[in-house]
Amino acid sequence: MTQPIRVLYIGPASTGTFDIVSIEQQSRAVRLVGGTVVRYEGRNTAELTQALREVDVAILQGPGFDPAAFGHMGLHGRCKGLVAFGHGFDQLDLAAATANGVLLANTASFGTEEVSNHTMMHFLVCSRKFVLHDRMIRSGVWTRENLSPMGHIQGQVFGVVGLGDIGRAVARKAKAFGLNVVAFDPYVASWDMLEYGVEAKDSLEALCRVSDYISVHVYLNAETRHLISHAQFAIMKSSAYLINCSRGGVVDEAALITALQEQRLAGAGLDVFEKEPVDPNNPLLKMDNVSLTNHYASYSEVAWERAQTQLGEEAVRIANGMWPMSLINPEVHHVVPPRKPARSWEVCAREVAVGRHP
């Protein structure tokens, strides 16, 4: 019988006595396999390091994580991994984690349907000039003088940058509108794109030249920061729209504003920004051809609960010698000893239960 696992929950600063009920969803999977979740109550790196010595894996929800702590994890301590809440991981030092043999995971996929739906909402709002006409009718103006130009949608080209879980869902939904979908993702083989029913483009520039709508679905890292900037806006159609429901830093916001002000772009649909909350003086807020939402694309009650429970599931996998489903530093494969492949949660839970009660 294996020793019950211990998981450290690192959340927002706590107030008052810790109640396990407050993180019932996050700890559900851990408790199901007989493990224990303890809450981190420290305030500095030394206290964090001490807490990590007494657990098998950590869950991060809310604050950042001091990369110095990675030196006491992985190859150098009991705690073998860190599971972070959400799709992104730009708040984590992947290089430091990998060098120390720390497995990093997140809860990618929890909001795939929500983000892809949100993307299509922005696409429709842009294509039908909804922002402009909504503002006009609310101000008492009833006119059809501002309808043209307006695309037909069916037969137009929808470009997807990044063909991961969300990008594929967006591509599938775009095809339902009769759009011709093209995609650029240097990490996805052309034959896989064929299986997804999209046309592969061999460069971002090639996608930008032909697309009537461009939607980005990539992580924010050194490779993708300002992936869409002056050079890309210069070759896009003046009738094209840009949609961003990934991370604000993927798009050079100053370049986007310039392109919109100079009418080199028809408009944009944005859920994310380089600075959040948005500066009230940001010119984007005053543009009638830009639809805006406040970084909530991934939210629904169902998705949010799935994200919370997935934290615990990934923690169980790591603590029991498996790879996580959503590994975000794959280079760690070359640093740590071999592990068992990730299993679906149903299979994983059963295997762990059998290991506890042979």
Please give the full DSSP string across 67-78, using - where no structure is assigned: GGGGGGSGGGSS
pLDDT (0 to 100) of residue 128: 96
Q: Decide if 287 contacts 29 (C-beta within 8 A).
A: no
Residue among 41, 276, 305, 331 flagged as catalytic? 276
Q: Which of 78, 66, 70 is nearest to 6 (CA)?
A: 78
Extents of the domains making up the chain: 6-109+301-356, 112-292
Fold designation for 112-292? Rossmann fold (3.40.50)
Q: Which of 118, 116, 167 is nearest to 270 (CA)?
A: 118
Fold designation for 6-109+301-356? Rossmann fold (3.40.50)
Strand-strand pairing, 157-161 and 213-216:
parallel
State the Cα angle at 201 between 200 and 204, rounded to 5°: 140
Whether 295 is a known active-site residue: answer yes
pLDDT (0 to 100) of residue 357: 45
How far apart CA 39 and CA 61 sit, in angstroms, is 11
Question: What single letter denotes the amino acid at residue 14?
Answer: S
Q: Tell me the pLDDT tens digit for each residue of 44-62.
A: 999 999 999 999 999 999 7
State the Cα angle at 239 between 238 and 244, rounded to 5°: 95
For tokens 């892809």, name the residue. Answer: 116
Residue numbers of the chain with a pLDDT score lower than 70: 1-2, 13-21, 355-358
pLDDT (0 to 100) of residue 14: 61
pLDDT (0 to 100) of residue 358: 43
Q: Decide if 112 contacts 166 (C-beta within 8 A).
A: yes
pLDDT (0 to 100) of residue 3: 81
Q: Is the pTM of this model over 0.85?
A: yes
Q: Please list the residues that pair with 251 across neighbouring strands.
A: 228
- Residue 136: Cβ within 10 Å count: 16
One fold for 6-109+301-356 and 112-292: yes
Whether 247 is a known active-site residue: answer yes
pLDDT (0 to 100) of residue 1: 37
pLDDT (0 to 100) of residue 356: 57
pLDDT (0 to 100) of residue 258: 98
How far apart CA 8 and CA 122 sit, in angstroms, is 39
User: Could you report how far apart the first and last alpha carbons of the chain are, in Å?
Assistant: 7
pLDDT (0 to 100) of residue 43: 86
How far apart CA 4 and CA 106 sit, in angstroms, is 23
Q: Which of 236, 284, 277 is nearest to 258 (CA)?
A: 284
pLDDT (0 to 100) of residue 50: 97
Q: Which two tokens stand for residue 89?
A: 């991981």
CA 132, 135, 138, 141 dihedral sign is negative
How far apart CA 223 and CA 76 sit, in angstroms, is 29
Q: Please list the residues that pair with 213 across neighbouring strands.
A: 158, 241
- Residue 177: Cβ within 10 Å count: 15
pLDDT (0 to 100) of residue 15: 54
How far apart CA 168 and CA 160 sit, in angstroms, is 8
Whether 122 is a known active-site residue: answer no
pLDDT (0 to 100) of residue 19: 59
Residue among 6, 78, 295, 356 flagged as catalytic? 295
pLDDT (0 to 100) of residue 101: 98
Residue among 87, 217, 247, 317 flagged as catalytic? 247
pLDDT (0 to 100) of residue 32: 93
